[in-house]
Structure 1
Amino acid sequence: MTVTDRQLSAPATAPVTRAMLLAAGKGERMRPLTLDTPKPLLPVAGKPLIEYHIERMVAGGVRDIVINVSWLGEQIEAYCGDGSRWDCVLRYSREPEPLETAGGIIQALPLLGDKPFLLVNADIWTDFDFQKLLSVSLPRQAAHLVLVDNPEHNTEGDFSLELDSVQLPSTETLTYAGIGLYDPLFFEGFAPGKRALLPLLQRAIEESRLFGEHHLGHWTDVGTPKRLEALERRLLASN
């Protein structure tokens, strides 16, 4: 299915006005840094990771942002507050224990409304322009993922991309960047609770409702202290 076919075969969706930042993980691979600080608050070039995302979302026109929190979540709430310093509204979905990606989204759906929403992992860094996703024509029950070249820690990749259609991995693969646009009905029928996202993505592939694009710019999964140090050096060198 090409972009043109997709736009012709699906009703136009409403403009994106809300986003969700995934910030509930324990960051176990980042220890000891995350024993006392949640990973989204780890500073890079003088600014917490999560702040880069909030600034980019606001710059792109999204000013209603939901953040799910769990591990040391009170620190994230204390730092980010109500969002007024960024000219946005921040709301929080609190998880007593991390619910994994899909579980956290499902719990937060009442805060996200009935329109497509931007979803971003708070523990990445990227120069991707979130505004690009806000005009994507998304069919109901579908999702649109941002994929990147496979990093050293994920050489086998996650998916393949044929035009704008995401497929199960084949010869040429890409890595899911932790950035996407999701219709709330993508999660329809799934009960609340701990749930991984990958099975939902695989099911969407089988039903031809998972789309995507290849981002060629910078992206880092800040999953280890070594990657955090490398990102710090890169950003300081570019300033």
Structure 2
Amino acid sequence: MTTTPPIPAMLLAAGRGERMRPLTNTTPKPLLEVRGRALLEWHLGALAGAGVRRAVINTAWLGERISEHFFSHFGLQRPSGEREQLSISYSHEGRDFGHALETAGGIARALPLLQASVFWLAAGDVYAPDFPFDAASARRFAASGALAHLWLVPNPAHHPRGDFGLSPEGLALSLPEAIAAPRHTYSTLALLRAELFAPPWCDIPPGNPQGVAAPLAPLLRRAMDAGRVTAELYQGLWVDVGTPERLAQLNT
């Protein structure tokens, strides 16, 4: 009996962190510390603990600080004494193009490094220490016809209108603003299929050689309208660490 290797992860770490200034003037946002650990380290530890063996991190603003901090491997020591190793590759958008490529542009650029038809996605400025990166969820998604599976969270105070709806059948809904229906906030935690970054959903050339900057939401909405995006509500601890005040609250 053969086993399927764990799918890789894409970690988004290219943003400037404008709302976090002056903290991000000299430190990239994913390296800001929450409870003694860099924000990005919480995701890397959870991924390594879940058995994920490869991750790609995209960078732009102060990107060399991120690669110098984590280098090419992340190690996790289990209570049993066993050590888990996660190999890390970098997609240096700032070095290659002089700016960040936004979410869809950055993922399209990193796909040759991911070398996978299915992968995890997580933003480096989100604190979700208990998110499991569950292998069973990844297997179910890989066997489905969905292009994306999103984890939605209850709307935080700073984003009361939310992003997407959720049907009783577990489909993510791209609801127009005019429709009075419950919306939830996209957590930036997801499982994605590489097919989402090809026509008809995305017109960025493979590998994004020209460095096209493009957001992810329009691609997701096109796929939602075709019934190709599933979702579920995540009730665990989740914080978008978008301001110095939210960071301070987490550290008190």
Residue among 78, 85, 88 paired with 2:75: 85
Alignment of 1:215-234 (within 5 A): 215-233=234-252
Match of 1:198 in 2: 217
CA contact (8 A) 1:68 1:104 kept: yes
Structure 2 counterpart SS, 1:130: coil
Residue among 106, 114, 117 paired with 2:116: 114
Match of 1:47 in 2: 37
Match of 1:184 in 2: 194
TM-score of the superposed pair, with normalisation by structure 1: 0.88
CA contact (8 A) 1:119 1:179 kept: yes
Distance in 2, matches of 1:71 and 1:140, equals 36
Counterpart amino acid of 1:165? Answer: L
Distance in 2, matches of 1:115 and 1:102, equals 15
Distance in 2, matches of 1:230 and 1:84, equals 27
Distance in 2, matches of 1:136 and 1:117, equals 13
> Number of matched residues?
220
Distance in 1, matches of 2:74 and 2:163, equals 37
15-24 vs 29-38, which moves further: 15-24
Distance in 1, matches of 2:20 and 2:226, equals 36
Structure 1 counterpart SS, 2:215: coil
Structure 1 unaligned blocks of 5 or more? 1-13, 234-239
Percent of aligned positions that are identical = 42
Distance in 2, matches of 1:85 and 1:218, equals 24
Alignment of 1:145-184 (within 5 A): 145-162=150-167, 163-169=169-175, 170-184=180-194
Distance in 1, matches of 2:14 and 2:148, equals 22
Q: Deviations over 1:41-62 (max 9, x none)?
A: 0011111000010000011111
Structure 2 counterpart SS, 1:152: coil
Structure 2 unaligned blocks of 5 or more? 77-84
Counterpart amino acid of 2:93? Answer: E
CA contact (8 A) 1:140 1:183 kept: no
CA contact (8 A) 2:151 2:189 kept: yes
TM-score of the superposed pair, with normalisation by structure 2: 0.84
208-217 vs 76-85, which moves further: 76-85
Structure 2 counterpart SS, 1:136: helix
